Amino acid sequence: MPTLLICSATDDLSDLHVVFREEAARRMPALQVRLWPDLPDPDDVEAVAGWYPPAGVIERLSNLRLISSIAAGVDHVLDAARAHPDVPLCRIVDPALAAGMAEYVLWAVLYYHRALDQALQQQVQRVWKIPSQKPAHQTHVGLMGLGALGSHLAGVLRGQGFTVSGWSRSAHHIEGVRTYAGDDALHAFLQAPDIVVCLLPLTDATRKLLGRDVFAAMKPGAALVHCGRGEHLVEEDLLMALDRQHLRGAVLDVFAQEPLPASNALWSHPRVVVTPHMASSAQPSVIVGQILDNLQRLRRGEAALHEVDRSRGY
Ligand code: NDP
Ligand code: OXD
C-alpha cells in the first residue's frame, strides 16, 4: 500500500502524524501514513517527511517519489537525501511562517533599539536611569539572508521606519534596502548595522560563519540576533566578542546542541537572551497540505513546489 513516512530522531511527531492521517484520509484515502519506527514494508514508501531523520532510514527507502523537510530548512535531511539524487527534495515555504519570523525579529530589534537590554540590567541593580532613545531610522538592521524569510522581514522593518540592509549569495533588489551580494561584500555589509540578524540556511559555505572575523567586522556596540542554525555560530567567539565589550549583546534562538545543555555558558551570560528554537514554524495543517500537494503533483507528472537546489544546499 502506498505509504508516506514521517520520521525524526529528535522530536516527537505524533501530533503531526494525526494531522497527516486525517488529511490523507480525506484527500488520498489509498495513502497510509506511518510514523517511524512503525514501518512494515520500506518498499511501500512513496514519500518521506522528516526533521533530523534517524540515521539510515531515508537511505534504505528504494521507491521514493518525494523527500520533504517538515520545516523551512533542509540541512538536517540533505545528507540522507544524497542516497536518492533524482528524487525531489522539498521544504516548507509559508507566508505565515515568514510573518511569525518577522514578529520574533521585530521584538528582538525593539529590545535593542528601545534599550530594554539596558533597562533590564539596571533593574537587577535597582538603578533608575532613562536610557537614551532615538528614532527608528537611526537604528540600522542588517539581514544576513534575503530569502523567503529575510526578504519579508526587510519589508516589515522598513515599514517600522528602520534603516535596513541585506546580504545574500546572489544580487537582490529590494525597495529602500541597500543590498550586498557574495563573500567579497560581507565585510562591507557588516560595517554599518547596529543589529545583525542571521537568517541564512546551514550549508558548507555558512557553517561557523558567525565567528571571530564576522564579529570583528561588526560595528563596535552592535548586537546579534541569530535565527538561522546553531552550527552557524562559533559560541566561544561570540562569548569573547561579548566579554571584550565589542558586541553589545545577542538574542539566540538556535544552537548547535538543542536542547541547549544546562551547563552551557550562554544560559547565564548577562547579555545573551536564549530562546528555545521558537522564532517561527508553520502550522501542522500547512506542512501537511504542502507535502500532500507535492505528492499529488508528482503523481500527475508535474514539478514539485519549493524544491531545493541540492548543489547550493538550500
Ligand atoms: P531561503 O532559502 O529562502 O533563503 C536563504 C537566503 O540565504 C537567500 O537569500 C540566500 O541567498 C542566502 N544565502 C544562502 N547561502 C548564502 C551564502 N553562502 N552567502 C550569502 N547568502 C547566502 O531560506 P528561508 O528564508 O526560508 O530560511 C532561512 C533559514 O532560516 C532556514 O534555512 C532555517 O535554517 C532558518 N529558520 C529558522 C527558524 C527558527 O525558528 N529559528 C524557522 C524557519 C527557518 P540567495 O537569495 O542569493 O539565494
Ligand atoms: C525551520 C526551523 O527550518 O524551524 O523551519 O528551524
List the chain pLDDT tens, one digit each, 314 residues. Answer: 999 999 999 999 999 999 999 999 999 999 999 999 999 999 999 999 999 999 999 999 999 999 999 999 999 999 999 999 999 999 999 999 999 999 999 999 999 999 999 999 999 999 999 999 999 999 999 999 999 999 999 999 999 999 999 999 999 999 999 999 999 999 999 999 999 999 999 999 999 999 999 999 999 999 999 999 999 999 999 999 999 999 999 999 999 999 999 999 999 999 999 999 999 999 999 999 999 999 999 999 999 999 999 999 99
Which residues, in sequence order, are bridge partners of residue 8?
51
Ligand closest to CA 229:
1
| Distance in angstroms (rounded) separating the CA atoms of residues 162 and 141 | 7
**What cell was used for 96?**
505565515
Instruction: Say yes or no: CB of residue 146 within 6 Å of ligand 1.
Output: yes
CA 189/CA 209 separation, integer angstroms: 14
Ligand 1 pocket residue status of 298, Cβ below 6 Å: no
Residue to probe by mutation, ligand 2, list 91, 280, 286, 306, most atoms within 8 Å of CB: 280
One-character DSSP codes across 268-290: G-TTEEE--S-S----HHHHHHH
Prior bond of 2 cis (ω within 30°) = no
277 is catalytic: yes
User: Is 312 marked active-site?
Assistant: no
230 lines ligand 2 (CB under 6 A): no
pTM greater than 0.75? yes
Q: Which domains does the chain have, with CATH numbers?
A: 3-94+282-299 (3.40.50.720), 96-274 (3.40.50.720)
Q: Which of 74, 107, 169 most suits a substitution to test ligand 1, by most atoms within 8 Å of the C-beta?
A: 169
ω into residue 37 within 30 of 0, thus cis? Answer: yes
Cα 146 to its chain centre, rounded Å, is 12
